[in-house]
Amino acid sequence: MLDLSPDEWIAIRLSLKIAVVATAVALPFGIALAWLLARKNFWGKALLDGLVHMPLVLPPVVTGYLLLISFGRRGPIGAFLADHFGIVFSFRWTGAALSCGVMGFPLLVRPIRLAIEAIDRKLEDAAATLGADRLWVFLTVTLPLAMPGLIAGMVLCFAKALGEFGATITFVSNIPGETQTISAAIYTFTQIPGGDAAAGRLVLVAIAISLAALVVAEWLARRAGTRFHGE
């Protein structure tokens, strides 16, 4: 029904790959930071909290530019990672995943943090008296109880990563097959005469993917919820 051209398919697959990788890589950092912000008091906590939320309030172009000058080939972090680990971000899909992950990060951290804050710490005490050390308490009590927040955070991060445009195009440009995501492709098609049909098709695809992500998230959250209340 949707007659997608090979180029459009490439953009869709690339978008999905970037969004999945961005969410998956951001997740462990997101959980660690959410736990830190929910449970620990330390010097500079407010600053760290603000820093995490920066991508939400900064113009995406600014975030993209900051990524470019720090993670680009000549940027201090980018040069270090390229020289020592062979990880290159600039003008690669990995860079797109990085910028999408950074943009989605605040959306990932917030629900997880709220979920961890809502957990009854007395349950963690009970687990400790039953012989669980702190890591096991976290893995067997804290994390499973925070699952609805984890799911919500991952969906928001995935959706943000899928639609991210400004930071990504600033950081890694708009290269078909490498960094041209659905959003960038739609933008490109709207700039060329006769591109409306292609742009329209991709718009429908973007709507479909986003809706599917929401439905899956709702289903997962409901399953995680009912697990606490019986059967």
Partner 1 sequence: MLSIDVEKRLGDFSLAARFEAAGGVTALFGASGAGKTTLVNMVAGLIAPDRGRIWLDDTVLFDSVSRIDVPAHRRRIGYVFQEGRLFPHLNVTANLDYGRRMCGLAHKPSEMARIVGLLDIGHLLDRRPGKLSGGERQRVAIGRALLMRPRLLLLDEPLASLDAARKREILPYLEKLRAEVPMVYVSHHAGELRRIATSVVLLDAGRVAATGGIEVLDAATAELMA
Binding partner 1 (rule: CB under 8 A), the pick from 84, 133, 191, 194 is 133
Sole window of 86-94, 140-148, 153-161, 180-188 interacting with partner 1 (rule: CB under 8 A)? 140-148
Sole window of 14-22, 101-109, 153-161, 221-229 interacting with partner 1 (rule: CB under 8 A)? 221-229
Residue 204 within binding range of partner 1, rule CB under 8 A: no
Q: CB-wise, 74 or 227, nearer to partner 1?
A: 227
Residue 223 within binding range of partner 1, rule CB under 8 A: no
* Residue for token pair 């708009």: 174
Binding partner 1 (rule: CB under 8 A), the pick from 122, 191, 193, 194 is 122
Q: CB-wise, 190 or 226, nearer to partner 1?
A: 226
Residue 227 within binding range of partner 1, rule CB under 8 A: yes
Q: How many CA atoms lie within 13 A of 179 on its CB side?
A: 24
Q: Give the Cα separation of 146 and 201 in Å (integer).
A: 38
| Total of chain residues touching partner 1, rule CB under 8 A | 24
Binding partner 1 (rule: CB under 8 A), the pick from 129, 191, 193, 194 is 129
Q: How far is the CB of 134 from partner 1 (least distance, A)?
A: 8
* Residue for token pair 């098709």: 201
Q: CB-wise, 125 or 218, nearer to partner 1?
A: 125
Burial 204-216 (b: 16+ CB within 10 A, else e): ebbeebeeebeee
DSSP 68-89: HHHHSTTSHHHHHHHHHH----
Residue 131 within binding range of partner 1, rule CB under 8 A: yes
Residue 222 within binding range of partner 1, rule CB under 8 A: no
Closest CA to 60 of 153, 150, 170: 170
Binding partner 1 (rule: CB under 8 A), the pick from 5, 9, 50, 136 is 136
Token digits for 17? 């790959």
Is the distance from CB of 14 to CB of 181 less than 8 angstroms? yes
Is the distance from CB of 137 to CB of 65 less than 8 angstroms? no
Residue 126 within binding range of partner 1, rule CB under 8 A: yes
Q: Give the Cα separation of 21 and 193 in Å (integer).
A: 33
Q: Give the Cα separation of 165 and 172 in Å (integer).
A: 11
Closest CA to 59 of 165, 169, 166: 166
Q: CB-wise, 184 or 224, nearer to partner 1?
A: 224
Which residues make up the interface to partner 1 (CB under 8 A)?
Answer: 120, 122-123, 125-133, 136-137, 140-141, 144-145, 147, 227-231
